[in-house]
Amino acid sequence: MNTAVVAIKSQKKIDFQRVLEPYLYLSPALIIIALIIITPTIVGFSYAFQSIELLNPFNGGWVGLAHFKAMFADRYFFSALGNTLDWTLISLFFQFFLGLGLALLLNRRFSGRKLVQALVFLPWAVPTFLSGLTWAWLFNPIIGILPHWMSSVGLLSEPYNILSDPQLAMYGPIVANVWFGIPFFAITLLAALQSVPSDLYEAAAIDGASPWQVFVKITLPFLAPMIAITVMLRTIWIANFADLIIVMTSGGPANSTQTLPSYIFTTAYRRLDFGYASAMAVMLLVLLLFYTAILLKMRSKLAKA
Amino acid sequence: MPDVTKTDYIKLFAHRFAILLYLIFSLFPLYWLLKIAVTPDKLLYSEGVKMWPSKLTWVNFELVFTQSEFPTFFINSAIVSSATALLTTLIAAAAGYAFCRFKFRGKLIISALLLITQMFPLVMVLAPIYKIMAPLGLTNSLLGLVIIYTAFNVPFAVFLMQSFFEGIPRDLEESAMVEGCSRFTALRKVIIPLTLPGMAATLGFVFTAAWSEMLFALMLISDSSVSTFPVGLLNFVSKFAVQWGQMMAAGVLALIPACIFFVFIQRYLVQGLTAGAVKG
């Protein structure tokens, strides 16, 4: 009887340990995330409704929805919104299709494939500030060759820096972003391609299917889930990505390359207006959540149909 | 069948040619960086846009090493990135192990939370973090950067470590536990040695990410003695806008550690990028 109680008690102790053990391993990660990501996010939400200007410390306090009202009257906010859309969609389009092309090319055996793979994936490892500077230099007619090439094929009337032309400046950071982002899509899609069972291809070859039919009927359906998830996540990531723009144009000339994240950064970093910056960040977050919700809804509808 | 071989050759040629185009596009900007760095200043205006200068020089690298603050920036970045990589890998290994080997209450919620943190606009927390860090003396401090970078790299590193743990058969530690090892001893003696390559890859990924971070560094650091490389380089560019050779030589310097780690983590790229699909 007695021993049974002891056994139950020690059993309980073991259970207790077993229950607690995973949390023990998790706790450092959870604590640092709670302190450095979650707390500031909540604080950031509260800033959106306060006046916090470091250059104007006495002008503090709660202001309700004043920042959001100001936002709707701020034409730079709306132009930044439009630029964010251009920046995200154009970058994503080229990153995805060029990445898919590269993945298809690499999904074939040839000698030196490993080396080629390492070299074409290298841009991904280049620090983003350096990618931005390198491309900004390439667009500079004094030390860069791109303006000269563009003018000799007739894209530009004379070799000048497109980064200082409000009409064309956005293409500078977009090209840099495409260069940097192709490897990401190539790598994830290559991994998905390699998971397509090879007997399917063999069967298609026996049936005499054309390469295009094979791609549409076999390859694409296998890639579809991977494509759906990476494109969705990547859209959000690109929309939030401001480094290249800040380095190459800092939003200029005449705000022509200012996206929402770069505008938020400039408002916080240069104007030190934390309240307005946070209000715009909340708006950005709401828009991104909205986008995700629509996409998930569309996906579940498609799955049902 | 001569026709077949002919189209085969055309296909082969097209394939190699397309690959060549991708190679040129990937490598040309880096080649250009290196080229300007070794072009003598005098020749820049006459030969700046030629494919290769008529004379080479190492002067720019010498100036960067001896006359500039770049060695300090380099060391600061190296300290911050290595410390971040070590701390993140330790924390993520523990959490990844918990995710892989335990069933527990809240598992789904916690992993969803980790995923969500990756989708948040970074700019959202810049201002609050500055306000929180300033009174703690963590602005203008390398420690401050290490703490922030660790927090933002942990979620991705957890997914990565989890995927490495999944690759280790459970039987191994179970048989060790049957033979009387505690779970922790089994972890220490059996699992950790097997995950060392995975940990090394995680170290590499996090190091590269920390090396390239600039928004927090710009926001939090104003003192040049604690500047990391991006902050130092961007300040240099805005101050000495025509010192092309030196700027590019410094750029080449920033490229070196990232490239070393890249070669080192190349094998794990697929695993890393699928785990960090959100991160890039």
Is the domain of B99 the same as that of B225?
A: yes
* Two tokens, residue A258: 């200012």
* Inter-CA distances, B41 with A79, A292, B5, Å: 40, 51, 53
* Two tokens, residue B152: 């933002």
Q: Are A237 and A293 in contact (CB under 8 A)?
A: no
pLDDT at B275: 62
Query: In 10 A of CB A67, how many CB atoms?
Result: 23
Residue of A24, A33, A115, A185 for testing the chain B interface, max B β-carbons within 10 Å: A33
Q: Are B132 and A40 in contact (CB under 8 A)?
A: yes
Q: Which B residues 111-140 touch A at CB under 8 Å?
A: 113-114, 117, 119-132
Distance from C-alpha of B126 to C-alpha of A277, rounded to nearest angstrom: 9
Is the domain of B146 the same as that of B15?
A: no
Task: Give the count of domains, chain B.
Answer: 2
Distance from C-alpha of A4 to C-alpha of A11, rounded to nearest angstrom: 10
Bridge partners (DSSP) listed for residue B185? none
ipTM confidence: 0.89
In a domain, B238, yes or no: yes
Domain that holds residue B46: 2-59
* Two tokens, residue B6: 């002919």
Domain extents for chain A? 1-47, 68-304
Closest residue, chain B, to A179 (C-alpha)? B26
Is the domain of B166 the same as that of B45?
A: no
Q: Are B129 and B155 in contact (CB under 8 A)?
A: no
- Which of B176, B157, B115, B277 has the alpha carbon at shortest distance from B149? B157
Bridge partners (DSSP) listed for residue A62? A50
Please say whether the dihedral angle defined by the alpha carbons of residues B79, B80, B81 and B84, taken in this order, is positive or negative.
Answer: positive
Query: pLDDT tier at A12 (50, 70, 90 boundaries)?
Result: low
Distance from C-alpha of B280 to C-alpha of B266, rounded to nearest angstrom: 14
Distance from C-alpha of B7 to C-alpha of B16, rounded to nearest angstrom: 14
Q: Which B residues 59-88 touch A at CB under 8 Å?
A: none
Peptide bond into B230 cis (omega under 30): no
* Two tokens, residue A261: 């994240």
List the CATH number of the domain containing B131.
Answer: 1.10.3720.10
Chain A closest-CA separation from residue B172 CA (Å): 19
Asked if residue B87 has pLDDT above 80, the reply is yes
Query: Which amino acid is located at B65 in the chain?
Result: F
Asked if residue B262 has pLDDT above 70, the reply is yes
Is the domain of B271 the same as that of B238?
A: yes
- For the domain A68-304, what is the CATH superfamily, name and number? MetI-like (1.10.3720.10)
Query: pLDDT tier at B273 (50, 70, 90 boundaries)?
Result: low
pLDDT at A133: 94
Is the domain of B33 the same as that of B139?
A: no
In a domain, B280, yes or no: no
The 10s digit of each residue's pLDDT in B111-144 is 888 888 877 888 889 989 998 999 999 999 999 9
Is the domain of B41 the same as that of B81?
A: no
Is the domain of B8 the same as that of B72?
A: no
Is the domain of B45 the same as that of B160?
A: no
Q: Does B52 touch chain A (CB under 8 A)?
A: no
In a domain, B36, yes or no: yes
Q: Are B39 and B61 in contact (CB under 8 A)?
A: no
Residues of B in contact with A241 (CB under 8 A): 280
Query: pLDDT tier at B249 (50, 70, 90 boundaries)?
Result: very high
Is the domain of B137 the same as that of B8?
A: no
The 10s digit of each residue's pLDDT in B16-31 is 999 999 999 999 999 9
Is the domain of B95 the same as that of B14?
A: no
State the residue for tokens 């080629």. A116
Three-state SS for A34-93 is HHHHHHHHHHHHHHCCECCECCCCCCCCECCCHHHHHHHHCHHHHHHHHHHHHHHHHHHH
Is the domain of B228 the same as that of B265?
A: yes
The 10s digit of each residue's pLDDT in A79-112 is 999 999 999 999 999 999 999 999 999 998 888 8
The 10s digit of each residue's pLDDT in A148-195 is 999 999 888 889 999 999 999 999 999 999 999 999 899 889 888 888
Residue of A77, A96, A97, A129 for testing the chain B interface, max B β-carbons within 10 Å: A129
Containing A287, the helix (H) or strand (E) segment is: helix A274-304
